Structure 1
């Protein structure tokens, strides 16, 4: 584990949230948002409304910018998210989890909690000088982002099967070259 027990899953959740945006909308409706909240193990308030869905969707482009930013720009985004949420970090224990930091109350709106959780995890990444772990998928036809938590920093592809597609393409290219 590179970071605090809650930082790594939070970073992976930020990437997952960013990757729900795109040509195939990953959060098309409130039930899809509910499934995301459950899958990503968000605790606390979840209103299950169209307004909440719009607010979460509106957060995604701002978080995506982080994968295209340098460290100073990441810090600006993180500080902005924390400032706007009036974040006040406190140690909290819930749901059989050990103490960890929450910076907004559990009854704060979902999009605000998502933004602050992302900002707190990204702050850890910046403080640890590990911003290079934020990557874009190396597959030419993919716009997804990822967090490389591997020991040797070798992860290049997102979780959407791009690594397999790249391997198949490379295999087919080798076979085609052998046949000529």
Structure 2
């Protein structure tokens, strides 16, 4: 583990949220899709299951996407803004059989607010440890998904949408074609 568990979860969830509005179309088309996203990423606390909540979560995505294309100073400004707007007050909490970890807003805060603050807190750890290079955009030429490289050797280049497999298959087919008489 490179970072604390809550930091890794926050980074992974932020990248996944950004990628719900990518090349593949809208991946949060309705409240049911938000419910599935909520469960998949282990969110706890308040979840209203409403169209308004869905809109507020969708509205967060462009702001988070900007982080993957920004320099350190802009990232810090975005993170500070997210924390300030939420009135974040970091505190240790324990829930859902997880050990103590940091939350900066209560579990009854709106979901979009909690998502924004969890992402901001995780990004703060990257800034403090000079690890912003772990925030990447997929190397596949037809993909604009973002990713967080949590590998030890910082070698991850492709997102979770199968781009690495597509590149490998294309290279394999090219080698096979070149080997044919």
TM over 0.5: yes
Count of matched residue positions in the alignment of Structure 1 and Structure 2: 180
TM-score, structure 2 length as denominator? Answer: 0.96
**Structure 1 residue 9, shift from structure 2 partner:** 1.3
**Structure 1 residue 143, shift from structure 2 partner:** 0.9
User: Corresponding residue for 1:152?
Assistant: 153
Q: Does 1:172 align with 2:179?
A: no
In the alignment, the residues of structure 2 paired with residue 66 and residue 128 of structure 1 have an alpha-carbon distance, to the nearest angstrom, of 16
User: Corresponding residue for 2:86?
Assistant: 85
Q: Does 1:108 align with 2:109?
A: yes
Gaps of 5+ in 2: none
User: Corresponding residue for 2:124?
Assistant: 123
Cα deviation code 1:134-153 (max 9, x no counterpart): 01101011111100000111
Q: Alpha carbon RMSD of aligned pairs, Å?
A: 1.0
In the alignment, the residues of structure 1 paired with residue 38 and residue 143 of structure 2 have an alpha-carbon distance, to the nearest angstrom, of 24
Cα deviation code 1:111-165 (max 9, x no counterpart): 0000000000000011011000001101011111100000111000011110000
Q: How does 1:1-180 map to 2 (within 5 A)?
A: 1-22=1-22, 23-179=24-180
Cα deviation code 1:69-96 (max 9, x no counterpart): 1111110100000011010111111111
Gaps of 5+ in 1: none
In the alignment, the residues of structure 1 paired with residue 116 and residue 105 of structure 2 have an alpha-carbon distance, to the nearest angstrom, of 10
In the alignment, the residues of structure 1 paired with residue 18 and residue 32 of structure 2 have an alpha-carbon distance, to the nearest angstrom, of 18
TM-score, structure 1 length as denominator? Answer: 0.97
